[in-house]
């Protein structure tokens, strides 16, 4: 049989993350590799009550086909959440998706023709790049500093790429760097989008998980011409297993999103949508998020302190004000992929940063997740990584041969 695959199959790289996540299933392993929320915080008893209530009062509807755009009370709850952070919207501007990954995929489907340009942060969220690659996008990246994407560099890219469809940004506690785009740059990004007639895809899964500092309104808050498509998710504030995210955009866009979602999976899980809405009706989601933030803050602090204690001096890191990740830069000559393999031998998993670069990877970087490990695991895991880094440092210092490469 001849190969029948579409050309796009060549563009999907076997995810390094997948390999690491697979080995993460070893029970003795301490994993900082995934982006998993702390499962011990999931509101299990409340979910039992919510499931029971949904099945008792709306059993048939919760198991039946339902509207592609999503369950109205859930969309109303989403509208309320967004209103609290400075986004005004209505029911016709909100669609529920099967996780925000689907929102990213549908955005590619809706806007990208072969060869169209999208501009993203460098580094950025791996699975978004994979989704854009499905549509044969031309991906252009923009350097960041500690305050997010650099606006001068963004403008240069916009000038160089008149076929740009949208800017893809994760403004709050970015994956993988944990960096936050500062307020003036959010305003500037919208100005540039207006000026160069492009859209902005604002992917905001972590914004609600801020544990220090003052909240900054989302990019969508500054939107003057309906150019910002805002994505978020219940994955980090409630439960990722239910696969519930949402898109907020202009009504005309949402109409098309609905048509494409219909052909992608008809609608998101009716039962999970109703349970999530019921949970928010019966309990206080904000209170739950406060618990998550307190625990994540503790874990983040523990990890930062452990890094200071156990890592060599010649590294730098980003101290995040929220989210799930710490980004570490090793010295220039170090290949974090090799470090990651050695760490795995020592039963600790990390993701080498190269996986997050659309182009020209910085191989001396790595992403550490703190949300899915206890403080004890964090201390022990960072200690083990520290040992690997110190050994590597000694090896490089002693070996001229290797230092040449």
238-297 residues in contact with a second copy (CB under 8 A) are: 239-243, 256, 259-260, 262-272
Distance CA 189, CA 183 (A): 10
List, as one string, the DSSP characters of 185-245: HHHHHHHHHHHHT-EEEEE-SSTT-B-SS-----GGGG-SSS-EEEEEESTTTT-GGG--E
In angstroms, give the least distance from the CB of 275 to a second copy: 8
Distance CA 253, CA 89 (A): 13
Two structure tokens written together for 395: 């090896």
Q: How many residues of this chain bind a second copy (CB under 8 A)?
A: 79
Encode burial over 172-186: b for 16+ CB neighbours within 10 A, e otherwise: bbbbbbbbbbbeebb
In angstroms, give the least distance from the CB of 152 to a second copy: 24
Which span sits near a second copy by CB under 8 A: 8-16, 180-188, 324-332, 349-357?
Answer: 8-16
In angstroms, give the least distance from the CB of 376 to a second copy: 18
Distance CA 325, CA 375 (A): 15
Residue 65 binds to a second copy (criterion: CB under 8 A): yes
In angstroms, give the least distance from the CB of 239 to a second copy: 4
In angstroms, give the least distance from the CB of 26 to a second copy: 15
Helical H segments across 311-405, by residue range: 336-345, 375-398, 400-404
Distance CA 335, CA 341 (A): 10
Please check whether residue 270 is in contact with residue 345, taking contact to mean a CB–CB distance below 8 angstroms: no
The residue whose two tokens read 């998550």 is 292
Site for a second copy in 171-210 (CB under 8 A): 197-199
- Does 123 sit behind a cis peptide bond, omega within 30 degrees of 0 on the bond before it? yes
Quick one: 21 or 150, whose CB is closer to a second copy? Answer: 21
Site for a second copy in 106-145 (CB under 8 A): 109-113, 116, 127, 130-131, 133-135
Please check whether residue 382 is in contact with residue 349, taking contact to mean a CB–CB distance below 8 angstroms: no
Quick one: 141 or 269, whose CB is closer to a second copy? Answer: 269
Which span sits near a second copy by CB under 8 A: 41-49, 211-219, 325-333, 397-405?
Answer: 41-49
Residue 162 binds to a second copy (criterion: CB under 8 A): no
Site for a second copy in 367-396 (CB under 8 A): none
- Cα-based angle 383, 388, 394 (whole degrees, multiple of 5): 125
Binding test (CB under 8 A) with a second copy, winner from 29, 94, 125, 166 = 166
Angstrom distances, CA of residue 319 to CA of 37, 104, 308, 325: 19, 27, 12, 9
In angstroms, give the least distance from the CB of 65 to a second copy: 5
Site for a second copy in 322-341 (CB under 8 A): none
Distance CA 383, CA 173 (A): 25
In angstroms, give the least distance from the CB of 116 to a second copy: 8
Quick one: 133 or 373, whose CB is closer to a second copy? Answer: 133
Site for a second copy in 16-35 (CB under 8 A): 18, 34
Binding test (CB under 8 A) with a second copy, winner from 83, 225, 376, 397 = 225
In angstroms, give the least distance from the CB of 223 to a second copy: 12
Quick one: 52 or 308, whose CB is closer to a second copy? Answer: 52
Residue 212 binds to a second copy (criterion: CB under 8 A): no
Residue 309 binds to a second copy (criterion: CB under 8 A): no
Residue 7 binds to a second copy (criterion: CB under 8 A): yes
């Amino acid at each position: 049989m001849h190969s029948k695959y579409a050309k796009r199959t060549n563009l999907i790289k076997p995810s390094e993350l997948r390999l690491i996540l697979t080995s993460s299933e070893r029970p003795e392993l301490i994993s900082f590799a995934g982006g998993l929320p702390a499962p011990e915080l999931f509101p299990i008893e409340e979910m039992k009550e919510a499931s029971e209530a949904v099945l008792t009062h709306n059993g048939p509807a919760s198991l039946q086909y339902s509207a592609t755009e999503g369950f109205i009370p859930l969309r109303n709850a989403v509208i309320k959440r967004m209103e609290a952070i400075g986004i005004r919207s209505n029911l016709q501007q909100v669609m529920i998706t099967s996780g925000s990954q689907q929102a990213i995929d549908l955005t590619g489907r809706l806007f990208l023709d072969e060869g169209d340009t999208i501009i993203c942060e460098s580094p950025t969220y791996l699975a978004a790049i994979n989704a854009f690659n499905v549509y044969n996008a031309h991906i252009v990246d923009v350097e960041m500093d500690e305050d997010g994407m650099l606006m001068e560099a963004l403008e240069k890219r916009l000038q160089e790429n008149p076929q740009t469809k949208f800017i893809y940004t994760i403004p709050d506690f970015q994956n993988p760097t944990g960096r936050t785009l500062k307020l003036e740059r959010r305003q500037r990004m919208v100005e540039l989008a207006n000026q160069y007639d492009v859209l902005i895809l604002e992917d905001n899964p972590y914004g609600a998980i801020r544990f220090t500092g003052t909240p900054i309104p989302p990019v969508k808050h500054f939107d003057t011409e309906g150019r910002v498509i805002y994505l978020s998710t219940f994955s980090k504030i409630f439960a990722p297993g239910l696969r519930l995210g949402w898109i907020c955009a202009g009504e005309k866009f949402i109409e098309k999103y609905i048509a494409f979602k219909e052909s992608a999976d008809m609608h998101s899980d009716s039962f999970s949508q109703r349970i999530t809405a019921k949970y928010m009706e019966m309990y206080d989601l904000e209170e739950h998020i406060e618990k998550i933030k307190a625990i994540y803050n503790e874990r983040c602090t523990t990890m930062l302190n452990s890094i200071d204690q156990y890592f060599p001096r010649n590294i730098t890191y980003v101290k995040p004000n929220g989210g799930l990740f710490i980004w570490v830069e090793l010295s220039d000559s170090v290949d974090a992929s090799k470090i990651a393999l050695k760490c795995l031998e020592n039963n600790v998993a990390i993701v080498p940063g190269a996986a997050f670069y659309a182009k020209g990877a910085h191989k001396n970087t790595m992403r550490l997740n703190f949300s899915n490990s206890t403080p004890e695991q964090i201390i022990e895991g960072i200690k083990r990584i520290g040992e690997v880094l110190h050994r590597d440092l000694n090896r490089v210092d002693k070996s001229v041969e290797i230092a040449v490469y």
